Amino acid sequence: MCKNCGCDASKDKMHQNAHEHRHEHGGHYHVHEHHHEHESGHEHHHEHGEHQHDHQHSETTHVEMEMNILSENDRIAAENRALLKSRGIVTVNLISSPGSGKTALLEKTLDMLKGDVPCAVIVGDQRSDEDAKRLRGRGAPVTQIETDDSCHLNAGQVALALEKTLQPDTKLLFIENVGNLVCPAAFDLGEDFKIALLSAPEGEDKPLKYPSLFNTARAVIITKIDLCPYLDWDIEKCRRYIRGVNPDVLLFELSSRSEKGVNSWISYLKTLL
């Protein structure tokens, strides 16, 4: 679980001072967050005869801190959204587990939209710029954000990256979030909507296990369908589970490698503009 986003309920954090130091190397940002924690869930025992009094002060503090984190994130996300809308840019937030094929799909998408729809990409990973390297040279500016220990992007990180990433003619912005099915779903980045990806090798039950993402996504993309003949995987059951948590969701089934189903995805993106 993430150390920095406040989602670790096992820790009682009375005071947390997060000092973010951002510096740019090449085309990616490093975001370092330093947290100072002071435990407040201590107990004071006063024994008088058989009387013992325990004083615990933790639950309220944790809830208030988490609300403050999300409130500040939402404020910055609203600013991001206003900026993007003022420039006529459609923004999608791609969320999935690691290895589901987000980067492979973006490679194919940028290649097919090159010269037709001006795109830009922001990529989030805990370490390295490997994904950004794969996406550069495909006709779109790409900015990598390294989140260190954080398991998701936040609106403040995206706000800084927008300054570098957006071009005067940008019409479509892709945000490739950190690989995680849980925390990224809770953090608004200023996008128009979220898109969830689920690869065939992951199994059919992920929408049931992680409903927060799948029931808020406008679209779900089932990836790597070229592997279906080699897997003990029931695509009908997967469709049923997805519809069970989000009856009105748009559903795409494709393979970036074989390009099966990719044209439908590209046509959908063009309709957004």
Residue pLDDT, tens place only, 224-268: 999 999 999 999 999 999 999 999 999 999 999 999 999 999 999
Amino acid 260 reads K
CB atoms within 10 A of CB 87: 15
53: tokens are 């009094």
Q: To the nearest whole percent, how much of the chain has pLDDT over 90?
A: 72
pLDDT one-digit tens code per residue, 149-182: 889 999 999 999 999 999 999 999 999 999 999 9
Tens digit of pLDDT for each residue in 247-257? 999 999 999 99
Is the pLDDT at 117 greater than 90? The verdict is: yes
pLDDT in tens, 71-80: 999 999 999 9
For 13-63, the pLDDT digits (tens) are: 333 333 344 445 445 555 444 344 444 444 444 444 444 545 455 566 666
Q: State the pLDDT at residue 21.
A: 42
Average pLDDT estimate for 198-221: 97
The helices-and-strands tally (H runs, E runs) of the chain is: 8, 11
For residue 94, how many C-alpha atoms fall within 13 Å in the half-sphere facing its CB? 26
Q: Identify whether the C-beta of residue 132 lies closer than 8 Å to the C-beta of residue 155.
A: no
> What integer pLDDT is reported at residue 203 of this predicted model?
94
- Taken in order 14, 19, 25, 28, is the CA torsion positive or negative? positive
Render pLDDT for 129-154 as a digit per residue (tens, 0 to 9).
Answer: 999 999 999 999 999 999 888 899 99
Distance from C-alpha of 81 to C-alpha of 64, rounded to nearest angstrom: 25
Task: Give the global pTM.
Answer: 0.78
Per the CB < 8 A criterion, the answer to whether 220 and 95 are in contact is: no
pLDDT of 68: 72
pLDDT of residue 64: 67
- The dihedral built from the CA positions of residue 97, 72, 146 and 105, taken in this order, carries a sign that is positive
Tell the burial category of 228 from Cβ atoms under 10 Å away from its Cβ (0-12, 13-18, 19+): middle
Q: What's the chain's average pLDDT?
A: 84
Dmax of the chain from CA atoms? Answer: 83
- Pair 112, 269: CB distance under 8 Å: no
Q: How far, in Å, CA of 147 to CA of 126, rounded?
A: 5
